[in-house]
Copies of this chain bind each other. A is one copy, B any other.
Amino acid sequence: MPTLSRPGPLCLFLWASLAATAVANSADWTNADLETAATLRDRAMAGTDAFEHVSSLVTEVGPRSAGSAGDAAAVRWGLNTLGTLGFSQVHAQDVLVPHWVRGTAEVSIVSPFPQPLVATSLGGSIGTSEDGIDAAVVAVDSLEALKALPATAVNGKIVFIDQRMERTRDGSGYGATVPIRSQGPSDAADLGALALVIRSVGTSSDRIAHTGGLNYRSDAPRIPAFALSNPDADLLARQIKSSKTVHLHLKSTARELPPAWSANVIGEIPGGALANEIVLLAAHLDSWDLAQGAVDDGAGVAIVMEAARLISKSGRKPARTIRVVLFANEEFGLSGAREYARQSAAELDRHVLAFEADIGQGPVWKLESRVAPEALPAVSQIFKVLEPLKIESGMNEASGGSDIRPLREAGVPILELALDATNYFDIHHTANDTLAKIDAKTLDQSVAAYTVAAWLAATKQGSFGRIAKSE
């Protein structure tokens, strides 16, 4: 899932003032196209096949981390499913992906009160020796507090970063704590730590650890890194509170294998008059190895596949081509996103709009955008069709999904149909990411919103302009 940022207040005023003019500015769509959008919305709310798509992926594939046998099975599933659903131009775009293997992780308190802890390796972590690591713990409550420590306080110890992620609807609590996971290992290694243990970046009180990718800096030693479930982090914190010196034992068989071939899976609903222009709907096909990958990102895969399918079955042909891309390896380095952007570099000006589904099942609660200013009335018109789904209007500073970031950075306009993240981080990157956490009706609402946005983007008269390029 993407980095989540909060936009500033300025654009809200801009948008609000433009919204008032949206009705007058009907040059963007014919009445028939607007009516089709409302019809598609209402049909989706009456029931879609999205739950069945997730169920199929979870049942027939399950875990599918980059480079694994499950990853290969997922590519096959994606090709078969898009073909069966009637997509055109169904094909695999080869992507070389890293192949990290989690192995087993053991974390236990050795003293003062011996207990096993539920933990998992952070994605990309190196393993330990066969003997593991035994050392005293130095605890801090933030990455900043760690960086403020002298090396003498950390050298030869295990660092424990004990900061709790905040539960929010927009997922901003994730952005605030994820640097602990991504940067913490190298920051701890800078000070001579033997290993890093973090409180899971996640909001669950269940005894399931949250994994997720780390980023080793090239100028820091690589040390093993682990996440504890929240209740186990609580336990460790209580022992530290009652006894200043706590010793941990850590062991991990995590390791990196040679890179492997995976693929972006691509299929299209062909356009008519503007068939060479593309509206891109994104999700990612990979999941973390310990999850069934129903929520992250089976839900997103189902939402974008079903949205496109509903349009193809509507009896009306969109002017532009709707391209569904199920990206390879979002979780551990955005390999598929980079490869797609690279291979599409020459045709990015034909990508009229892109949006992704990668924060779970929904519901969609807010529409954000990042389009040229002259296209904001069109966004307001899209919002008017979405509003009955209990969706709020947002800013024109959307960050979009991780997989479409290279497109956004190259100037492709994006929408963000923000999925409700309140409970998402209870199961994000955990074994608890299963079909049991998916509600079919909630998923239908998300499909309805994505269908409306895809249809209107593919039928709009005139483009969404281009946005400023960035890095």
Contact = CB atoms under 8 A, between A and B. Distances in A.
A62 B434 contact: no
B116 A63 contact: yes
For the complex formed by this chain, how many copies does it contain in all? 2
A347 to B, nearest CB: 37
Contacts of A62: 113, 115-116, 235
Given A60-B113, A207-B208, A436 B230 contact: yes
B115 A63 contact: yes
Given A208-B206, A208-B207, A231-B292, A59 B435 contact: no
A437 interface: yes
Contacts of A55: 238
Contacts of A242: 59-60
A73 B232 CA distance: 19
Nearest to A434: B231
A105 interface: no
Interface in A265-317: 292
A239 interface: yes
Contact of A207 (B61, B69, B431): B431
Contacts of A116: 62-63
Contacts of A431: 118, 207
Interface string A196-219: 000000000111100000000000
A234 interface: yes
Interface in A62-112: 62-63, 69, 73
A58 interface: yes
B59 A434 contact: no
A239 B436 contact: no
Interface in A427-443: 430-432, 434-437
A114 B431 CA distance: 16
B113 A59 contact: yes
Interface of A: 55, 58-63, 69, 73, 113-116, 118, 205-208, 230-232, 234-235, 238-239, 242, 292, 430-432, 434-437
14 contacts: A59-B242, A61-B113, A62-B115, A63-B115, A63-B116, A118-B431, A206-B208, A206-B432, A207-B430, A207-B432, A207-B434, A207-B436, A234-B435, A235-B435
Given A59-B238, A207-B431, 17 more contacts: A58-B235, A59-B113, A60-B113, A60-B242, A62-B113, A62-B115, A62-B235, A63-B116, A69-B114, A73-B113, A205-B436, A206-B432, A207-B432, A207-B436, A234-B435, A234-B436, A235-B292
Per CB-CB distance, the 9 closest pairs between chain A and chain B, nearest first, are A231-B434, A62-B115, A205-B436, A231-B436, A59-B238, A207-B432, A60-B113, A207-B431, A206-B206
